[in-house]
Chains A and B, each alone.
Chain A
Amino acid sequence: MSARVGVVTFPGSLDDGDAARAVRVAGGEAVRLWHGDSDLHGVDAVVLPGGFSYGDYLRTGAIARFAPVMESIIDGARGGLPVLGICNGFQILCEAHLLPGALTRNSHLHFRNRDQWLRVGTSGTAWTNSFEADQEILVPLKSGEGRYVADQATLDELTANGRIVATYVRGNPNGSERDIAGITNEAGNVVGLMPHPEHAIEALTGPSLDGLGFFTSILKHLAGATA
């Protein structure tokens, strides 16, 4: 039986279909979850996709964080449920305090939409074990509030403990502290990523197939967990 990966739809989510497709292309079963339903329907992992959620009226992710489904996801994540937040999903994970720091307006104030090179910082998470550390990958980036910030102590801790999952290379698109594009929690089950791996899984529509690694990683992780 293939692993069941939930993909949450918030009002304003626009990459939920792509994320679900990425799960299927990787070989998993995508289960669509609705933000207003607190039931996770027995999924083995969750993707919070990108988009412009209703919480953005106040601060990106601030209101989405209080959606009924998030209460279940927060409980699950604290118990080890793998969760990947992409773009707005990353912002929601920070607002939910599952990941440290915050995402703020790009330093140059412009929305950035481009294919972006990243360096994978660690293969030691549920979502990056298909990569090798220091591997460079190309995935699309599209965000206006993608600048990662945290206090110096948090940044030092993330650096020292290998919790920076991806950094921007060949140019920092938004002024992120220490070129951070993605981070993980201490346990390695929760990952937040600003660029969009779900848009780089098929040659027809993406700049590479590099993004698929995040989705094969979770299936590998879940297969290992049940073996």
Chain B
Amino acid sequence: MARVVVDVMLKPEILDPQGQAVANALPRLGVSDVSSVRIGRRIEIEFTGEADLDRVREIADKLLANPVIEDFTIHEVADEPVPAGDPS
């Protein structure tokens, strides 16, 4: 089994209103040194066998991201996801 992560982000020149809303909320937490927040989407795909990264790229380009407004990156990760909050 292979696990591939596709990260999709709005292109830098596209306004990210969600990111801006979060950035505008940070001063309420006392955070005043953040100049920008951008919000993207992480998609994990598990293959039954080996992962063909060229095919993943095609899936990302055609469906997972809209290349008009979004960029994406792809990387293969270890089978077992690291639990959230694991200090190691």
- Which residues on A are within 8 Å of B, measured CB to CB? 58-59, 62-63, 66, 94-95, 100-102, 104-109, 147, 149-150, 175
Contact = CB atoms under 8 A, between A and B. Distances in A.
Given A101-B68, A150-B68, A58 B63 contact: yes
A106 B21 CA distance: 12
A104 B63 contact: no
Interface of B: 10, 14-15, 17-18, 21, 63-64, 66, 68-69
A107 B18 CA distance: 9
Contact of A109 (B14, B18, B66, B68): B18
A104 B21 contact: no
* Chain B facing A: main interface SS: mixed
Given A108-B17, A109-B21, A62 B69 contact: no
A90 B66 CA distance: 15
B69 A102 contact: yes
Contacts of A150: 68
A104 B14 contact: yes
Nearest to A60: B66
Question: Could you tell me the dominant secondary structure of chain A's interface residues?
Answer: loop
Contacts of B69: 102, 104, 149
A149 B10 CA distance: 12
Interface centre among B17, B21, B66 (most CB of A within 10 A): B66
A71 to B, nearest CB: 13
Nearest to A105: B17
Nearest to A152: B13
B63 A62 contact: yes
Contacts of A105: 17-18
